[in-house]
């Protein structure tokens, strides 16, 4: 067997890592079940806590959606990177001739998929619980952009905090302030959509959300190599 | 004479203000089985992590297979297989799925990769459990699979960090024979161990580290455990005495 001098192609590695994450989750059902259970319980608590009139509820509902999605995503992100660390699998990956950023893109794809699945399940559940239709294509688009942003920031930060002893508490502490622009833009865009506001209003917030995603993606891609090496 | 497969020159590693490795000079020839010995905190694991490309030296030069690390990291990593005291495997995936995943990281896929995976699974005696999740494996079975994972890309160098941790007698004996096979095939093996009997029996060279420096480097051919233990104790005593 000839040994190559070059790294294995980035996309091939990223794809393999993402497929591995999805397949391992399909086998263990550890991550999604915890995220879903947490999200559904949170929704129930919110629905009892917010005994509001219909208009007030319409204004609060996007906040409820994004708080639930953000915390469920953090739960999944923590576990996803912990699984890599527990048996030293991350180190095994780091000894392979692969571009370091491929680990970020692969983990990001898996984290995004899990967070989006949870978000998509929440939409019909919230429609029933809050008696307001949340099933619309633009809202799914905003949900996708928001969860992508959370997954981008969370993948980098979970790689950092997974090396510490108090990673479970540290990740939300460092992630929430950094993810604030994503959450604010996602809440504003969702509120505009649900209240039937002009498309220019929610469209502007959706554009801001996309721009924030792009900035974070570039920044996290540049930083990941340094974070993961030592 | 051919060039050593591993050459460390004045290799140092400092974490913060703490020097862990101090100007190590070491040359390891192709096909050697080196036991890396020393007390806890002597720098063995850090040295192995440097060889595995998991950390960068603070100063000094490191060449592996003629490639300079960290400058030519990909070429260095392609020649190395690592076995740790952790399994470095995904518990939710089966033995075959684990090997398939790691094979892809080494750009191995298709029929050749599948054939290699099948052959390695058979070689480590896990043919009947190939499709079972790793979480159902005993520690010994997991460690055998870990060896198969490390050998996937047929590396020139095998690095082992206390691979016998937690293994019972039977599993240890199986691991012994797997390492002897790998050595007979010409792999260069560097193994951290606290078992002097095993070092004397399996390795043909022992490197003893103390406080981040090479305290003694000696051939172990024809040496029994008692003799190695005496040399080990004397080397540590001298190193500790000199440095104070």
In this structure, what token pair is assigned to residue B97?
A: 């799925």
Interatomic CA distance for residues B146 and B99, integer angstroms: 9
Q: Do A97 and B89 make contact, defined as CB atoms within 8 angstroms?
A: no
Q: Which long-range contacts (CB under 8 A, 24 or more apart) does A162-170 make?
A: A162/A78, A162/A81, A162/A82, A162/A84, A162/A85, A162/A90, A163/A85, A167/A78, A167/A81, A167/A82, A168/A78
User: For the residues of B5-56, what is the DSSP string, one character each?
Assistant: SEEEEEEEEEETTEEEEEEEEEEE-TT-EEEEEE-TTSSHHHHHHHHTTSS-
3-state secondary structure of B60: strand
Q: Do A24 and B93 make contact, defined as CB atoms within 8 angstroms?
A: yes
Q: What is the pLDDT of residues A42-98, one digit of tens each?
A: 998 888 887 766 677 767 899 999 999 999 999 999 888 888 888 889 999 999 999
pLDDT at position B1:
58
Q: Do B75 and A95 make contact, defined as CB atoms within 8 angstroms?
A: no
Give the residue from chain B lying closest to A8, CA to CA: B107
B interface with A, Cβ–Cβ < 8 A, is 52-56, 65, 67, 72-75, 77-80, 82, 84, 86-93, 97, 101-102, 104-107, 133, 149, 153-156
pLDDT at position A3:
59
Ranges of chain B whose pLDDT falls below 70 = 1, 242-244
Interatomic CA distance for residues B40 and B38, integer angstroms: 7
Distance from CA of B212 to the nearest CA of A (A): 19
Say whether domain B31-56+74-243 belongs to CATH 3.40.50.300.
yes
For residue B227, what are the CA distances in angstroms to A206, B224, B230? 74, 6, 5
Find chain A residues with C-beta within 8 A of B65's C-beta. Answer: 3
Q: Any idea where the domains of chain A sit in the sequence?
A: 10-229
Please say whether the beta carbons of B91 and B135 come within 8 A: yes
With 0-12 CB in 10 A as exposed, 13-18 as middle and 19+ as buried, what is B239? Answer: buried
Interatomic CA distance for residues A77 and A162, integer angstroms: 10
**What's the ipTM?**
0.90
The partner residue sitting opposite A88, judged by closest CB among B80, B84, B133, is: B84
Q: Do A91 and B92 make contact, defined as CB atoms within 8 angstroms?
A: no
pLDDT at position A199:
85
Ranges of chain A whose pLDDT falls below 70 = 1-5, 52-54, 58, 230
pLDDT at position B141:
93
Stated pTM of the model: 0.90
For testing contact with chain A, the best of B105, B145, B156 (most A CBs within 10 A):
B105
Q: Is the dihedral of CA A164, A170, A174, A176 positive or negative?
A: positive
Q: Do A4 and B107 make contact, defined as CB atoms within 8 angstroms?
A: yes
pLDDT at position A211:
97
């Amino acid at each position: 067997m000839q040994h190559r001098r070059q790294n294995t192609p980035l996309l091939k590695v990223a794809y393999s890592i993402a497929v591995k994450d999805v397949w391992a989750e399909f086998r263990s059902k550890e991550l999604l079940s915890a995220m879903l259970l947490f999200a559904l319980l949170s929704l129930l608590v919110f629905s009892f806590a917010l005994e509001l009139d219909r208009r007030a509820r319409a204004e609060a509902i996007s906040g409820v959606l994004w708080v639930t999605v953000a915390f469920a995503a953090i739960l999944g992100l923590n576990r996803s990177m912990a699984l890599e660390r527990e048996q030293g699998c991350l180190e095994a990956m780091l000894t392979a001739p692969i571009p370091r950023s491929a680990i970020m893109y692969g983990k990001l794809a898996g984290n995004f998929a899990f967070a989006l699945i949870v978000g998509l399940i929440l939409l019909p559940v919230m429609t029933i619980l809050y008696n307001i239709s949340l099933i619309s294509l633009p809202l799914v688009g905003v949900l996708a952009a928001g969860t992508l942003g959370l997954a981008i920031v969370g993948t980098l930060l979970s790689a950092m905090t997974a090396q510490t002893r108090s990673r479970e508490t540290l990740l939300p502490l460092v992630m929430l302030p950094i993810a604030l622009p994503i959450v604010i833009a996602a809440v504003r865009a969702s509120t505009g959509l649900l209240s039937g506001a002009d498309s220019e209003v929610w469209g502007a917030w959706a554009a801001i959300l996309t721009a924030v995603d792009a900035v974070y993606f570039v920044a996290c891609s540049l930083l990941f190599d340094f974070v993961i090496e030592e | 004479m051919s060039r050593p497969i591993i050459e460390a020159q004045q290799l140092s590693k400092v974490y913060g203000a703490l020097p862990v490795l101090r100007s190590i000079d070491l040359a390891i020839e192709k096909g050697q089985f080196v036991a890396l010995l020393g007390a806890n905190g002597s720098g063995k694991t850090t040295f192995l992590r440097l060889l595995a490309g998991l950390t960068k030296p603070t100063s000094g030069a490191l060449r592996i297979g003629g490639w300079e690390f960290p400058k030519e990291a990909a070429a260095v990593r392609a020649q190395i297989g690592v076995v740790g005291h952790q399994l470095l495997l995904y518990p939710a995936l089966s033995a075959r799925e684990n090997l398939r995943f790691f094979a892809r990281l080494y750009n191995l896929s298709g029929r050749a990769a599948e054939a290699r995976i099948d052959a390695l699974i058979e070689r480590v005696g896990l043919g009947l459990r190939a499709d079972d999740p790793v979480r159902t494996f005993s520690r010994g079975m997991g460690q055998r699979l870990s060896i198969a994972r490390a050998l996937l890309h047929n590396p020139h160098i095998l690095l082992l960090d206390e691979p016998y941790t937690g293994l019972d007698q039977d599993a240890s004996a199986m691991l012994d024979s797997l390492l002897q096979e790998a050595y007979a095939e010409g792999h260069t093996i560097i193994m951290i161990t606290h078992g002097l009997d095993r070092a004397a029996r399996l390795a043909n060279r022992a490197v003893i580290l103390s406080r981040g420096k090479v305290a003694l480097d000696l051939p172990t051919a024809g040496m029994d455990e008692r003799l190695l233990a005496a040399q080990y104790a004397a080397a540590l005593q001298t190193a500790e005495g000199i440095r104070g």
